[in-house]
Chains A and B, each alone.
Chain A
């Protein structure tokens, strides 16, 4: 008997938890700046879940989640409320987590992603507000060999936003692209560091398979414990393969939670998933509901920055290629620097954007890589760099000298004109001066001269290099070329 492998379609939905960049916690005034702090030092009776305390909503967190919803094309609910999600675990101080069940702040949006040249619109089911849990460390007692846990409550109560996608992704690559674009947007709008390695951006994935063409979904598996985009991608690839093998051998996929084990690159069964019923959600009696006024939401919408997709389209319309536009819009800081630079170069719409892109992706990127710095740490202002670019463009200095001046500007903070004047780097275009140098070089390099005269054009480059060395890169290359050619044909 031969089993015929069915052609399956993969269905993926992602749940992203993301800590917000507020100063204080979601429901109390403890600082969220606990990274590296001693355990249980960013804690008060509210986030410890002491009886008799009352939570109060952090207004900034509501602003941030609304901003997120708007950036993801969601509707911001004019009425939403908080609910208690009840479960027992030592990371939960109150015995319940304050979350949102049926009336979240944001509903029904989407995010467009582009993979391998096609675009997919991924629906955003909802974005809701909740609080982060305490951190647990699992230990073994040396004396008894028994396991125990240590609890650090610092993280407990940190504003946490959950972004739930529709099951709209069809490949692990799409899932990764969704995360990349989502992270980019969250950073653009300044609501989160969105750093998976730091733990302020976490992702759980739901994945199921169904025979291609079937409308109903197969039973889904939730994957947890993925600590990087690569891990999410690899876990989905693994799980896609595992489920196909089980189904092809006549088995069924139980609905369950599986954990990704990074070292061995496999998923393993965890606990069976509780029913939502078991969380016994009910409205949080300690928090009155939110009524977000239309005007308040409109103000937030109006203050949104230009988002990555719109910026990318605009830069392509300015004449940048796909790669240039994508690289520049990767971070908001870089994109804004580009805009300022192109404007300051002021050599017209034909040249300015291209020059700004060349310099930003060339010298500036190289400098940033060398100094492992971000664009906001880059020492040159857009105006300062634009002055240098203009000096290079109108021939006051050569391209080679411009790179040198760029380095000196970054190192000393002096402006381009000052450096050029101080170091005598102005371009030499004078025929007499250059002719004299060219003759000297010709006299000293008989072999290259002979090569050139016997038809080896490349020998000219070697002579050119000598002239550049003599002039410390200040010679106008075009002038030198024509002088050399002229002098070499004179017998």
Chain B
């Protein structure tokens, strides 16, 4: 199944990745062959097989509703490239 250049650009946009036209061409080919591989998986007969929600045989891993101390504000902000009045400061995101 062929993944078009537009589809590559759409997925790249969702992931916020900038691609050159050469990238688009390359990934279009690579993603197409990956999706082809799923076609092989899809051919397997899975009649009566439960979908796998999780690879480990675990369920109901939960914690009690108790509070533990949080980090000090200075630690939280320690690696922030920009901060202001105790907040992280980021560029405005325009939709």
Interface residues of chain A, those whose CB is within 8 Å of chain B, are 22-24, 29-31, 38-45, 48, 56-62, 79, 81, 86-90, 103, 137-138, 146-153, 270-271, 278, 280, 283, 285, 287-292
Contact A150 to B54, CB < 8 A, known contacts A24-B67, A288-B61: no
Are A59 and B63 touching (Cβ within 8 A)?
Answer: yes
Q: How many residues in B have their beta carbons less than 8 Å from beta carbons of A?
A: 35
B86: min CB distance to chain A, Å: 4
Are A290 and B59 touching (Cβ within 8 A)?
Answer: yes
In the bound complex, residues from chain A placing their C-beta under 8 Å from that of B55 are 285
In the bound complex, residues from chain B placing their C-beta under 8 Å from that of A271 are 95
In the bound complex, residues from chain B placing their C-beta under 8 Å from that of A153 are 76, 88
Contact A291 to B60, CB < 8 A, known contacts A29-B68, A43-B70, A103-B53: yes
Query: Which residues 53-86 of B have a CB within 8 angstroms of A?
Result: 53-56, 58-68, 70-73, 76-77, 84-86
Show 22 residue pairs from A and B whose CB-CB distance is below 8 angstroms, ordered by the A residue: A23-B66, A24-B67, A29-B66, A29-B68, A30-B67, A31-B70, A38-B73, A39-B85, A40-B88, A43-B76, A44-B71, A48-B76, A57-B61, A62-B62, A81-B54, A150-B87, A151-B90, A152-B86, A283-B54, A287-B54, A287-B61, A289-B54
Count A-B contacts at CB 8 Å.
Answer: 124
In the bound complex, residues from chain A placing their C-beta under 8 Å from that of B14 are 86-88, 278, 280
Are B53 and A270 touching (Cβ within 8 A)?
Answer: no
Query: Chain A at the B interface: mostly helix, strand, loop or mixed?
Result: loop
Are B73 and A41 touching (Cβ within 8 A)?
Answer: yes
Which one of B61, B88, B94 contacts A150 once the chains associate, using CB atoms below 8 Å?
Answer: B88
In the bound complex, residues from chain A placing their C-beta under 8 Å from that of B93 are 89-90, 149
In the bound complex, residues from chain B placing their C-beta under 8 Å from that of A22 are 65
In the bound complex, residues from chain B placing their C-beta under 8 Å from that of A38 are 73, 86
A6: min CB distance to chain B, Å: 33
Q: Name the residue on B nearest A151 (C-beta).
A: B88
In the bound complex, residues from chain B placing their C-beta under 8 Å from that of A146 are 92
Are A283 and B53 touching (Cβ within 8 A)?
Answer: yes
Contact A270 to B54, CB < 8 A, known contacts A149-B90, A150-B84, A291-B59: no
Please name 12 further chain A to chain B contacts, defined as beta carbons within 8 Å, in addition to the given A58-B65, A150-B88, A288-B54, sorted by A numbering.
A29-B66, A30-B67, A40-B76, A40-B88, A42-B70, A81-B53, A103-B53, A150-B87, A151-B87, A151-B88, A152-B86, A278-B14
In the bound complex, residues from chain A placing their C-beta under 8 Å from that of B59 are 288-291
Are B73 and A39 touching (Cβ within 8 A)?
Answer: yes
Are A23 and B67 touching (Cβ within 8 A)?
Answer: yes
In the bound complex, residues from chain A placing their C-beta under 8 Å from that of B91 are 148-149
A56 vs B90: C-alpha distance when bound (angstroms): 28
In the bound complex, residues from chain B placing their C-beta under 8 Å from that of A62 are 62
In the bound complex, residues from chain B placing their C-beta under 8 Å from that of A59 are 62-65
Are B66 and A138 touching (Cβ within 8 A)?
Answer: no
In the bound complex, residues from chain A placing their C-beta under 8 Å from that of B68 are 24, 29-30, 44
A288 vs B54: C-alpha distance when bound (angstroms): 6
In the bound complex, residues from chain A placing their C-beta under 8 Å from that of B70 are 30-31, 41-44
A148 vs B72: C-alpha distance when bound (angstroms): 24
Looking at B58, B77, B84, B87, the one whose CB has the most chain A CB atoms below 10 A away is: B87
A62 vs B63: C-alpha distance when bound (angstroms): 11
A103 vs B51: C-alpha distance when bound (angstroms): 12
Are B89 and A288 touching (Cβ within 8 A)?
Answer: no
A406 vs B8: C-alpha distance when bound (angstroms): 76
A40 vs B76: C-alpha distance when bound (angstroms): 7
Q: Name the residue on A nearest B86 (C-beta).
A: A39
Are A58 and B92 touching (Cβ within 8 A)?
Answer: no
A62 vs B65: C-alpha distance when bound (angstroms): 10
A81 vs B76: C-alpha distance when bound (angstroms): 30
B77: min CB distance to chain A, Å: 6
A56 vs B87: C-alpha distance when bound (angstroms): 26
In the bound complex, residues from chain A placing their C-beta under 8 Å from that of B87 are 39-40, 137, 150-152
Q: Name the residue on A nearest B82 (C-beta).
A: A148
